Amino acid sequence: MHVLTVLDHPNPKSFSAAAAGAFMRGATDAGHTTELADLNTESFSPLWSMADIGDDTPPDVAREQDRIARADAICLVFPLFWWGMPSMTKGWVDRTFRWGWAHDQLDNPEQSLLRPRTGVLLVPAGARSDEIQTEGYLDALETAWTKGTFGFFGFSPRKLELLYGSTGSDARRAALLEQAFQCGLTLPSPDNPRA
Ligand SMILES: Cc1cc2nc3c(=O)[nH]c(=O)nc-3n(C[C@H](O)[C@H](O)[C@H](O)COP(=O)(O)O)c2cc1C
């Protein structure tokens, strides 16, 4: 498969960047080709503006759509910010998966105009797993992202892989990087309900 990793972090030495690297090494070891979209280094503009309204696709968005078109699997790597996406990732999602290109209706999150692609949200989070689960944050994220958003983009199968406790000890972070590596190594093929 061809695997696109979309990284959102301005610091190349960040844990998120290390997680993206570990995921890509796992995907490479599994025999996949890989491609990195490093949104901050590339200065992608996340601002949804008048240029995004209308029939014409802005050139910077068309470039991201070309990346998606050649990918069989997509992994978004971004740190969890206030139980949501940082603005760069949010803007990349908002601008790239355009109405009429990715989706044309809002009734059924299992339907997309795009072919099925394996989708992974690989998300470092400072909080502990028990806190995220007992407070209901995990259910909220699964509902908003896994159920309510990424089906419209053709992500199938799709999963949210949280890297809990990402600001913890070196040993903790090493275990999380192994989790990211395994995620790349065991990436499933896209579902193909249209075959
Ligand atoms: C603005 C901001 C908001 C954050 N919000 C959350 C949050 O809601 N839940 C959480 O578990 N961690 C939160 N964190 C912690 C980050 O997820 C954590 O610092 C990050 O995963 C560490 O990875 P990094 O070194 O790549 O930045 C937040 C951090 C920042 C800077």
Element containing residue 35 per DSSP (H, E):
strand 33-38
For residue 105, the model assigns a pLDDT of 86
Residue 171 maps to a domain: yes
State how many domains the chain has: 1
User: By alpha-carbon position, which residue is closest to atom 19 of ligand 1?
Assistant: 126
CATH number of the domain encompassing residue 77: 3.40.50.360
pLDDT tens digits along 19-48: 999 999 999 999 999 999 999 999 999 999
Residue 191 near residue 116 (C-beta atoms within 8 A): yes
For residue 110, the model assigns a pLDDT of 87
Residue 43 maps to a domain: yes
pLDDT tens digits along 12-21: 999 999 999 9
- Testing ligand 1's pocket by substitution, the residue of 166, 173, 177, 179 carrying the most ligand atoms inside 8 A of its CB is 166
Query: Residue 133: which of 157, 158, 159, 164 has the closest Cα?
Result: 164
Supply 113's token pair: 């105009």
pLDDT tens digits along 151-185: 999 999 999 999 999 999 999 999 999 999 999 99
Q: Please give the share of the chain, as a percent, with pLDDT higher than 90.
A: 94
- Testing ligand 1's pocket by substitution, the residue of 23, 39, 80 carrying the most ligand atoms inside 8 A of its CB is 80
pLDDT tens digits along 35-86: 999 999 999 999 999 999 989 999 999 999 999 999 999 999 999 999 999 9
CA distances (Å), origin 27, targets 74, 123, 144, 189, 190: 11, 17, 27, 12, 14
User: By alpha-carbon position, which residue is closest to atom 15 of ligand 1?
Assistant: 126
CA distances (Å), origin 156, targets 13, 109, 122, 142: 31, 11, 15, 14
Residue 126 maps to a domain: yes
Ligand 1 binding pocket (C-beta < 6 A) is: 9, 14-16, 79-83, 124-127, 166-167
Residue 74 maps to a domain: yes
Helix (H, G, I), strand (E, B) or coil at 53: coil
Residue 7 maps to a domain: yes
Residue 191 maps to a domain: no
In a 13 Å sphere around the CA of 65, the CA atoms on its Cβ side amount to: 17
Q: 158 lies in which domain range?
A: 2-185
CA-CA-CA-CA torsion sign (162, 165, 168, 170): negative
